[in-house]
Structures are given as structure tokens and as C-alpha cells.
Amino acid sequence: MQGLISTTEEINSVLKIEVIDLLKQLIAIPSFSREENKTADLLESFLNGKGIVTNRKVNNIWSVNKHFNSALPTILLNSHHDTVKPDSAYTKNPFNPDITDGKLFGLGSNDAGGALVSLLATFLHYYENKKLKYNLIFCAGAEEEISGANGTASVLTELPEINFAIVAEPTQMNLAIAEKGLVVLDCISYGKSGHAAREEGENAIYKAIKDIEWFKSFSFPKISETLGPVKMNVTVIKAGSQHNVIPANCEFTVDVRTTDSYTNEKVLEIIKQNVSCEVKVRSLRLQPSSIPANHSFVQAGIKHGRKTYGSPTLSDQALMPWPSVKIGPGDSARSHSADEFIYINEIEEGIELYIKLLNEIVF
């Protein structure tokens, strides 16, 4: 099959160059969440150009290794090609893939373009190998930045059974072995309106204060070894219409960051048992995730000097029901920032390390 790359020497001389060029092309194409059709076209064309069959659902692209064997366990290699909109503080053209002093600038270069193409290079490295003990599925997902229904979540049920997933995000190639989940609550405290001067009614703000104080001070008993405690923050509040009317309703929003010590459902149950306000949950689908520290891939990472940690930021891991680990080139601190960039050598080293770690378990 012409165009595929398999030897270490070829990886160093050709594959890294190819995927870095692909990343430059991806940066040049605006791919905001729900608007990723053109980058999906590019990824599909790139894989097809290697003679690799692709599957597509909306703007999600996935492929399996050439010698896929349903009797073998399967590893999902997942990242995303959508981006947020550029920060207003950009001084560079966010769609100009400029390389300066070893840095590749451009929107999505760090989050998560560099990780995406590094994982794609890794998939290509193993694509034709007949001796693998695992199948590999590469999936470039859409709508990750908004946890959209037409993103990776929409294809999970169409994939073969997955044993574990490697999610490529900028982690400086350290291993996030746990990730916080998210629950957003819309709460309403009910009172009774009346004239403020006559002290009529029941002030919904005062009722809300009691529940807000509970959200501020309550500590969930179980604390995650990797993610710490569940965190709750009241972030939005709205009540009242004019100065002389006692408000009948007080609405407030609570941001809850869950850990692998509880399911989102259990956290919601505990909250409802302790507050008097009406609690409406937007979604329970963004679950906390984790992988055992003794998992073979995690142990391979430790063997090669990588650190393990718990991640406070969300990724497509939140949608996956199987064990997963987040690892990729780049630095999370650069994500969603003006003049985003990734070092070229981070991508090159990321490819090499992905292969080193997988070599520990796939043969």
C-alpha cells in the first residue's frame, strides 16, 4: 500500500513532516464547534490518500487498523479537531500557521491539533502491523469544546467494544489518570411577593441565601486520591424587579465539579436531600472518569518517566463508559489563549513517546 509508513527511520524522516504539514492545513481552516465540516473533509482526504477506509458521522471521522480482529481487545485513539473562537487579544492571524523560533502558532495548534496529529501519526505507524495484540481505532471527533451531541458521543455506540481509550489533549505528555466531571444546576427558591414598606410577602432571596450558604460550606465525605474533593460554586444569581417589591423567586446557578468518588447521579441525590430550593439539572452526561493506576498503559508511562495526575478540565473522556487516560503534547495552560502555539519538537517527541508506550502493551 503506497504512502503508508512503518519503519522507525521513515517515521523520523517522513511521517512527522507529513502530520505537521497536516496540522498547518487544519489551522488554516476555521473549525469552530458545529462548523468543522471542512477540517473533517481534510482529515478524511488525508486518510483516504493513505489508502485507509474512513467512516464518517456528521463531522466525526474514524478508521480501524488494517488487520482488525474482533477476537482481540481494542484501544480507542481519540482527539478532536474543533476549536473555540479566537480570543480578542490575538496579535497574530489565528488562521495563519506561522512557525517562529520552533513554535507553530495558530488557533487549535495546542488544543488539540498537535495532540490530534501526533495520535494520527501513531495510528499510521501501527496500521499495517499484523502482530498487534490489540486493535486500534483512530477517531477525530467534533464538538468537543461544547460537549456537543453530534461530537464523539454520537459515534461511541457505533464502535466495536472498547477496552480502554487514549484521549489526546495537551498534557505535556504526562498522564491524566482521572478527570473531573461536570454538573450544572439551575436552582429556584420560591417566596411570596409583597410591598416592601408593609413587610408583606416572603423574600425569596433570604430563602436562597440559606441554600447558597449550604453550597458554599458543605463538604462531600469522600475525597478522591487524584482529584481531591467535589467542588461546588454558585456562579449566577437573579431576583427582584424593583426596589419596593419583595421578590417571589430567586434563581441561581451552581457549577459542580464531580470526582471519581461519586457518580453525577449520586452527587445530585445528596444535593437534593440538603436544600429546600427547586433543583433542575441541565445534564448528567459529563461524568468523572478514571483509569486504574496499575493499568498496563499507565505503568508503561511511569516506566518512561511520565507523571500521573488528576485533571480538572473536561474532555471527551467525560462521555466514555470505559477506562481512559488523557495524554498528549502541548501545555493545557496555552489552551484558549491569545496567540496559541505548540512547539514543533513537542509534536515530534509526542509521536515518539506514544509509540514507546504502546510498544509496551501491543506486542
Over residues 41-65, the pLDDT tens digits come to 999 999 999 999 999 999 999 999 9
In this structure, which topology does domain 181-281 adopt according to CATH? Alpha-Beta Plaits (3.30.70)
Residue 159 is classified by DSSP as S
DSSP 3-state percent helix, strand, coil across the chain (nearest 5): 35, 25, 40
Q: 114-164, pLDDT tens digit by residue? A: 999 999 999 999 999 999 999 999 999 999 999 999 999 999 999 999 999
Predicted pLDDT at 1: 41
Residue 338 phi, psi dihedral angles, 5° rounding:
-65, 145
Cell of 15: 511521517
Q: How many CB atoms lie within 10 A of CB 156?
A: 20
Which residues of the chain form CATH 3.40.630.10? Answer: 8-179+288-362
Whether 10 shows a pLDDT value over 70: the answer reads no
The interaxial angle of helices 16-27 and 344-362, nearest 10 deg, is 120
pLDDT value, residue 197: 87
Residue at 195: amino acid letter: H
Q: Could you tell me the three cell numbers for 143?
A: 464538538
Let me know if 333 is exposed, middle or buried by CB neighbors in 10 A (0-12, 13-18, 19+).
exposed
Per-residue pLDDT, 173: 98
Binned at pLDDT 50, 70 and 90, residue 9 comes out as: low
Q: How far apart are CA 216 and CA 218, in angstroms?
A: 6
Note the pLDDT of residue 21.
Answer: 98
**Residue 140 contacts by C-beta under 8 Å, 6 or more apart in sequence?**
40, 43, 60, 61, 62, 79, 80, 81, 116, 120
**DSSP state, 15?**
I
pLDDT of res. 198:
83
The CATH code of the domain at 8-179+288-362 is 3.40.630.10
Higher-pLDDT residue of 197 and 271 is 271
Ranges of CATH 3.30.70.360 domains, the chain: 181-281
Percentage of residues in the chain having pLDDT higher than 90:
93
Q: What pTM did the predictor assign?
A: 0.89
